[in-house]
Structure 1
Amino acid sequence: MSEVTAGRRFGAGPLSRAAALIYTVLVVELLTVAACAPGLAGLVLLDRDASNLPLYALCALPAGPALSAALYTLHHRRLDLADLSPGAAFLRGYRANAFDVLKIWAPWLAGMTVVGVNLAHFHAAGVPGWWAALLVAVAVAGALWAAGALVIASLFRFRAVDVARLASYFLIRRPAATLGNASLLVVAGGLTLAASELAPLALAFAFAAGLLRNSRPMIAEIRERFVLDQ
């Protein structure tokens, strides 16, 4: 069956496009939640206490590959409305990227855990007040770096050290994208504080789409300057 015939059978109007988008949103959202399932039970059972920060990091470990697969799916989403296979793309992206993403995601979680524990016991340490501000700045910069590194590791094949360098480079090179990602982090943090740690997961598709949109200039420059095979 030709693409034209398939498109006509499915429909090409606004309603068909909306239905295709809704289908993709639901599938990606459900698969992202399912991929994060191993850590969800722990997040529900753990109390909001600084002593549980290492356990929080452990529970968040599956979220990296899951978000990477969502980014991969959205990036490779075809405009052909008759091609409704986001589930296959998600699984393909998960299998291809999980190991490489964990090389970035796990060290970042470990670093954020160390920063969080230091902030939680800041007064007991007896260090000056500016040290707390420095730790917060490190945490924010680290989160923005991780967002860029996650996109790079999800869409390209680089060594972990090269992903880290590129993410650091584009953190300053593309300030508009950095500010956009900062806005996403503020929203995610606000939802976590206002509701629960599971609240941002309910909007995983929206966060992935926003992260991918903010990263378009970075993706284009990487493809142009650092990818040999065009």
Structure 2
Amino acid sequence: MSDVKADQRFGTGPLSRAAALIYTLLTVELLLLVTSAPGLAGLILLDRHASNVPLAALCLLPLGPALSASLYALRHRRRELTDLKPGVAFWRGYKANAGGALKIWAPWLVWLTVVGTILGNFSAAGVPGWWAVLLVVFAAVSTLWVGNALVITSLFAFRAVDVARLAAYSLGRFPGATLANLCLLIVAGGVTLVATEMVLVLLGSVLAAALLWNARPMIAEVQQRFTA
């Protein structure tokens, strides 16, 4: 009887759960890097110049499905050390959601390309200075929107247009989550300015976990109101 109870307790304690979380994050991070490696290799070779903004966006295209699969794997992760299959969950999410993620991710990258190109050549555009502030605000809002959209399309089976509407609706419906994601965005922007984009990619699974944590109210409402 004592052996049975010991077996039941194994892998369920605080240290085991922490180890399970770390293992899951590391596995998801590795798979994220593998699935987005072709684009990341090109991104490393690009200089930070306005003329390279379209190429940078093209290099970031594979990252969308990879982030979606990461969100799926983290959402469906097991808590027990003896029952971990993050790799299986990642590939299941990647196969199921890659197309839906690209329908959200690609238009967002196109929008950021336009904004980045304009800001990179702002002095030659001949427009008022407040346009730059407006463009930055629009870019930030669209980034908050794409974060919500990736979470929704990774966890639920909705049409792209419905995902887009729910993501936009959630920005105002859950101001706490939106503010938390804004703080996450500011930190990510600061890391990119101080270091490189690759640092963010190396923290991809951690950022995905934080995004998923912030999205808990949104996920709960989508489950209750928009799924059977």
Structure 1 match to 2:118 = 118
Residue 79 of structure 1 pairs with residue 79 of structure 2: yes
Question: Using the alignment, how far apart are the partners of 1:226 and 1:7 within structure 2?
Answer: 40
Structure 1 match to 2:59 = 59
The aligned length equals: 225
Gaps of 5+ in 2: none
**1:40 Cα deviation after fit:** 1.2
Gaps of 5+ in 1: none
Q: Which amino acid aligns with 2:52?
A: N
**1:22 Cα deviation after fit:** 1.9
Residue 49 of structure 1 pairs with residue 29 of structure 2: no
Answer yes or no: is the 8 Å Cα contact 1:29–1:202 preserved in 2.
yes
**1:80 Cα deviation after fit:** 3.4
Residue 202 of structure 1 pairs with residue 186 of structure 2: no
**1:6 Cα deviation after fit:** 9.6
Q: Deviations over 1:196-221 (max 9, x none)?
A: 11010111121011100100000000
Q: Which amino acid aligns with 2:204?
A: A
Answer yes or no: is the 8 Å Cα contact 2:78–2:85 preserved in 1.
no
**1:193 Cα deviation after fit:** 1.0
Q: Deviations over 1:152-207 (max 9, x none)?
A: 11000111111111111111111111111111111111111111110101111210
Structure 1 match to 2:147 = 147
Structure 1 match to 2:164 = 164
Q: Which amino acid aligns with 1:58?
A: L
Q: Name the TM-score, length of structure 1 as normaliser.
A: 0.93
Question: Using the alignment, how far apart are the partners of 2:7 and 2:208 within structure 1?
Answer: 27
**1:74 Cα deviation after fit:** 0.9
1:1-230 mapped onto 2 (5 Å cutoff):
8=8, 10-228=10-228
Instruction: Give the match's secondary structure for 1:116.
Output: helix
Structure 1 pair 159–133 and aligned structure 2 pair: CA distance change class (3 A) = same
Question: Using the alignment, how far apart are the partners of 1:6 and 1:107 within structure 2?
Answer: 53
- Mean alpha-carbon deviation: is it higher for 17-26 or for 195-204? 17-26
Question: Using the alignment, how far apart are the partners of 2:187 and 2:218 within structure 1?
Answer: 22
Question: Using the alignment, how far apart are the partners of 2:10 and 2:37 within structure 1?
Answer: 34
**1:123 Cα deviation after fit:** 1.4
Q: Which amino acid aligns with 1:153?
A: T
RMSD after superposition: 1.5
Answer yes or no: is the 8 Å Cα contact 2:17–2:79 preserved in 1.
no
